[in-house]
Amino acid sequence: MTAFQEWVSNFSNLFYKCFIREDRYKLLVSGIGVTIKVSLLAVVIGILIGMLIALCNLSKRKPIKFFGNLYTGIIRGTPSVTQLMIIYFVVFATVDLDKWIIAAIAFGINSGAYVSEIIRAGIMSVDHGQTEAGRSLGLNAFQTMTRIVIPQAVKNIFPALCNEFIVLIKETAIVGYVGLMDIQKAGDFIKSATFVAFMPLIGTAVIYYVLIKILTLLFQRIEKVLRKSDIR
Amino acid sequence: MIKVKNLHKKFGDLTVLNGIDEHISQGEVVVVIGPSGSGKSTFLRCLNLLEDVTEGEIYVDDQLINTSKVNINEVRQKMGMVFQQFNLFPHLTIMDNITLAPVLLKKMTKEDAVKKGHELLKRVNLGEKAQAYPAQLSGGQKQRVAIARALAMNPEIMLFDEPTSALDPEMVGEVLDVMKDLAKSGMTMVIVTHEMGFAREVASRVLFVDQGMIMESGTPDEVFGNPQNVRTKLFLSKVL
């Protein structure tokens, strides 16, 4: 047997042991489901909180601005594992909610702080002349914000938001700390069960990579549509 | 139509407008000239309260507008404004730029607004650009769209804040031509500009502003031909 053939048979044996035997792939498949569920809900919560905190940070009222700064300060100043565990074991300790929902809330709260900074930057990136033009036509502040400023801000911040979404997906790899079986935890579980480190960990990495690659391609499509008005 | 009484405007410690009294009547084309930093743009921006007023009173159609009792959005609907930097909405087509405000503010149905939009675009010689985006237009074309956008609200007064200052020289003419037509149609206009030739030709009255005050006011012939104020003479000797 040549070295290459040996390697191939070794690889397929490991592959079989780690993914096929005892239906271990099912762990990973359900892990993908958990990762996607948690990430999606967290993104929605993150964007809602982000908008709210961005408005707080842009507010002229001191107490509101203070609250916004405090929020971003605390979230950015503490590790997300710590936040996740505090939310799970302290805040929701006595609340009867699905684990994945609590985890999504924790990641949403975390993501909201970063999203708020992105949104704030996006709103400030729109030239003040746009606001003046809207107001000079007789639109009120709200109409100017929703019809003129925010549509332009969204276009400006879309790449940054996508990036935040991707960071968030990878961040969820710590949900094992509160006992959820996501992709990472599933890979880890297989590693413990088979005493093989290479195959399950590389497999985990490949799954995350493919997931994020698909998302990136989707984002690029959307961005192209958003950039329609930039064509010269 | 517009009455300004004892208008003061301060930015922090800096006094930009230092007591302006002025009365602009219906159908007048008032051109405001003066050195940069004189306060002429600030004066114009105070007229529709894009700048809040530090002291003094502004009346539009005999209604005091710089008070919290007035809905400033309704007042602004009567006052079109054209900016130096055009400020077209880059995410909207030319037609949507024009129809956004009248439709959103329920001045017109969408169909009427589009019809009016086509008329206005024809009037500013951009009939074929309705579906283009602002980024696809030249500076002169953008400014003509901006004028059409302001006119779509059927304003009683048009304010122009240095409308040709950001344009390449060869595009100044096309914008001034549109403004001349507008003046001929009887529109009340207040124009801040450095185009002295245009001021001479189109203005019914010229205001010379310096140090936050109106130093001289009169017909173009009076102000350009026989200026009385020392500062006016000095300024005109530099720019003419």
CA distance A33 to B226: 84
Tell me whether A129 touches chain B (CB under 8 Å): yes
pLDDT at A67: 95
CA distance B87 to B97: 10
Residue of A nearest to B105 (CA): A139
* Share of residues in chain B with pLDDT > 90 (%): 96
Nearest CB neighbour to A138, from listed B88, B105, B135:
B105
Tell me whether B190 touches chain A (CB under 8 Å): no
Over residues B149-163, the mean pLDDT reads 96
Mutation for B interface: A126, A137, A231, most B CBs within 10 A: A137
Q: What is the pLDDT of residues B141-151, one digit of tens each?
A: 999 999 999 99
Q: Report CB contact under 8 Å: A137, B92.
A: no
Over residues B12-41, the mean pLDDT reads 94
Tell me whether B76 touches chain A (CB under 8 Å): yes
Task: Work out the pLDDT band at A231, boundaries 50, 70, 90.
Answer: low
pLDDT at B143: 96
Q: Report CB contact under 8 Å: A136, B80.
A: yes
Q: Kindly report the average pLDDT of chain A as a whole number.
A: 91
Global pTM reads 0.80
H or E, element range at B174: helix B169-184
Q: Report CB contact under 8 Å: B91, A229.
A: yes
Task: Work out the pLDDT band at A230, boundaries 50, 70, 90.
Answer: confident
Chain A and chain B share a number of CB contacts under 8 A equal to 73
CA distance B48 to B58: 9
Residue A224 pLDDT more than 90?
Answer: no
CA-wise closest residue to B166 among B84, B88, B81: B84
Residue A24 pLDDT more than 90?
Answer: no
Residue A22 pLDDT more than 90?
Answer: no
Contacts of B77 in chain A (CB under 8 A): 137-138
Our CA-based measurement puts residue B104 at a distance from the nearest CA of chain A, in whole angstroms, of: 8
Burial class (CB in 10 A: 0-12, 13-18, 19+), A142: exposed
Q: What is the pLDDT of residues B18-28, one digit of tens each?
A: 999 999 999 99
Task: Work out the pLDDT band at A232, boundaries 50, 70, 90.
Answer: low
Residue A228 pLDDT more than 80?
Answer: no
Tell me whether A138 touches chain B (CB under 8 Å): yes
Residue B131 pLDDT more than 90?
Answer: yes
* Share of residues in chain A with pLDDT > 70 (%): 99
Residue A226 pLDDT more than 90?
Answer: no
Our CA-based measurement puts residue A88 at a distance from the nearest CA of chain B, in whole angstroms, of: 43
Q: What is the pLDDT of residues B222-236, one digit of tens each?
A: 999 999 999 999 999
Q: What is the pLDDT of residues B163-202, one digit of tens each?
A: 999 999 999 999 999 999 999 999 999 999 999 999 999 9
Contacts of B50 in chain A (CB under 8 A): 132, 135-136
Residue A11 pLDDT more than 70?
Answer: yes
* Share of residues in chain A with pLDDT > 90 (%): 67
Interface of B with A in 139-168 (CB under 8 A): 149-150, 153
Number of C-beta neighbours around residue A79 at 10 A = 10
Task: Work out the pLDDT band at A59, boundaries 50, 70, 90.
Answer: confident
Which range is least confidently modeled, A26-30, B39-43, B179-183? A26-30
Residue positions counted in chain B? 240
Q: What is the ipTM of this complex?
A: 0.92
Over residues A215-230, the mean pLDDT reads 86
Give CB contacts under 8 A, 24+ apart, made by B15-20: B15/B212, B16/B42, B16/B212, B17/B42, B17/B43, B17/B46, B17/B54, B17/B212, B17/B213, B18/B211, B18/B212, B18/B213, B19/B56, B19/B212, B19/B213, B20/B56, B20/B209, B20/B212, B20/B213, B20/B214
Task: Work out the pLDDT band at B119, boundaries 50, 70, 90.
Answer: very high
